[in-house]
Amino acid sequence: METDESVSQRHQQAVEEFNQQQHRGDGARVAGSLAGGLTLLRDLLYVRLHDDVERRVGMDSMLSPVSVEKTAKTTKAEIDLFQIAVSAITVRQQNYIIGGDDWYLPWLTRFRLGRLSEDPRVAKRLSLYLAATPDRQRLIFTNVMSSVLAESRRAPLVLFRLVPHAVQVVTALAFEDHVLCDAAREQQLHLLPAIRDCHHCRGKLLDNGEECRLCGNPLWKFEWLTAAD
């Protein structure tokens, strides 16, 4: 398990590499924004797929605390892999940086996963996502989640449709592309109009790392996900 110091060192290395490779001076802002946004999304998605499902429909099996911890770690790593792929595709399509995803993909993978990025299975999973259409990517991801976290099969399907757009928002915010941010949120609103019904945030875009405690924006709680059921 990584220490706070090793995570901090990895963050600093990512900042320095970004500034050097991109000939920019805002690496700390970009890396910090990506880290805050992707970490929050990852953790919220795990809560939606595990905690929220458990509260809503219960669990069929009893797992030891060790098994729960191991499952959580594996699930979050798989979520990170999906987010890395979607973010890299967004960067390539929007031409945010020099070198496109040929540089960004390994940089973000090291940044997010640390030593785990050296595992051959990581490159294999990322290649699978990158070669797929958006619909196929989502299907692969849904199946992966089912295999590592069985209860995820009981989560509302709209959740898996919202996630790629949420990753687009995080990436676009980090690179200050507000046009894409708005377009991605409009896609989410189309999928889940109830987003607008939150009396606190009204479904507005939040800064990376921020969460609406009422509705769960940027990844909504079950009451909102099932509002149209």
pLDDT per residue as tens digits for the range 128-177: 999 999 999 999 999 999 999 999 999 999 999 999 999 999 999 999 99
- Measured CA to CA, the distance from residue 31 to residue 116 in angstroms comes to 19
pLDDT classification of 6: cutoffs 50, 70, 90: confident
pLDDT surpasses 80 at 61: no
The mean of the pLDDT values for the chain is 92
Residue written as tokens 């979050």? 76
pLDDT surpasses 60 at 66: no
pLDDT surpasses 50 at 206: yes
pLDDT surpasses 90 at 99: no
For position 7, what pLDDT does the model report? Answer: 82
Using alpha carbons, select from 73, 94, 88, 84 the residue that is nearest to residue 117: 84
- Measured CA to CA, the distance from residue 56 to residue 222 in angstroms comes to 9
Residue 32: Cβ-neighbour burial (10 angstroms; 0-12, 13-18, 19+): middle
pTM of the complete model beyond 0.85: yes
Helix spans in the chain (H): 4-22, 27-46, 52-57, 65-94, 100-113, 120-130, 134-148, 157-174, 178-191, 222-225
For position 92, what pLDDT does the model report? Answer: 95
The share of the chain scoring above pLDDT 90, in percent, equals 85
Angle at 84 between CA 195 and CA 171, to 5 degrees: 50
Q: Which domain holds residue 106?
A: 4-225
**Overall number of domains in the chain:** 1
- Measured CA to CA, the distance from residue 28 to residue 157 in angstroms comes to 35
For position 1, what pLDDT does the model report? Answer: 55
pLDDT surpasses 60 at 60: no
